[in-house]
Amino acid sequence: MNAKLRRKLIETAKRARERAYCPYSHFPVGAAVLTDENRLFFGANVENASYGLTICAERVAIANAITRGAKGIQAICIVGRAPKPCGACRQVMAEFSSKDTPILLVDVGPDSRKESIIRLKMKQVLPHAFDPLEAGLIPPNPQNLVKRRRTKAARKPVRKTKLKKKR
């Protein structure tokens, strides 16, 4: 990813952060994803009075991309104060990216003028991600990028078994 595209990804996530709905935590987060088709999608955290129903910016951005036809993610940017994706977000990110997908964590100061960027790869953010292909749960398909993550053990075709009809 070149510097111009990286800056566009960061600015998209910053603008998304401005749309966050966070009346309880007052902790706005924005995210942007660059898809394999070179399209940008964004999301912001959306809180709920029932805290468990809150959805993080990363998952909103990924859902926006996937529901609009994206097949996978080439880069992810998260913007906030000390932004670090939660466990659920990390697993969703892993579902649609490769182990080498760049993750940009952009820490903005309280006045949003100063930023520091931490660059990681997906394998660093979630080093032992649950991989459904490696677990033998799914065959490779174009809807997810597990085809990029295939290991030698997972290259064997998944056997389909017939279900017996109940009498």
Query: Taking the domains of the chain in order of start, what are their residue ranges?
Result: 3-125
**3-state percent helix, strand, coil for the chain, nearest multiple of 5:** 30, 20, 50
Could you give the percent of the chain with pLDDT greater than 90? 68
Which pLDDT tens digit goes with each residue over 119-131? 999 999 999 888 8
Average pLDDT over residues 61-90: 96
| pTM for this entry | 0.80
Given the residues 18, 37, 58, 115, select the one marked as catalytic. 58
CA dist 115 and 75 (Å) reads 19
The label of the residue with tokens 């820490």 reads: 107
Domain 3-125 homologous superfamily, CATH: Cytidine Deaminase, domain 2 (3.40.140.10)
What is the distance between the terminal CA atoms of the chain, rounded to a whole angstrom? 57
Is 58 tagged catalytic? yes
pLDDT for 71 beyond 70: yes
Three-state secondary structure call for residue 57 = helix
In the chain, at which residue ranges do the beta strands (DSSP E only) sit? Answer: 30-35, 40-44, 73-80, 102-108, 115-121
Which pLDDT does position 133 carry in this prediction?
77
* Helix spans in 18-161 (H): 57-67, 87-95, 122-125
Written as six digits, the tokens of 59 are 């998952």
pLDDT band at 39, cuts 50/70/90?
Answer: very high
With 0-12 CB in 10 A as exposed, 13-18 as middle and 19+ as buried, what is 99? middle
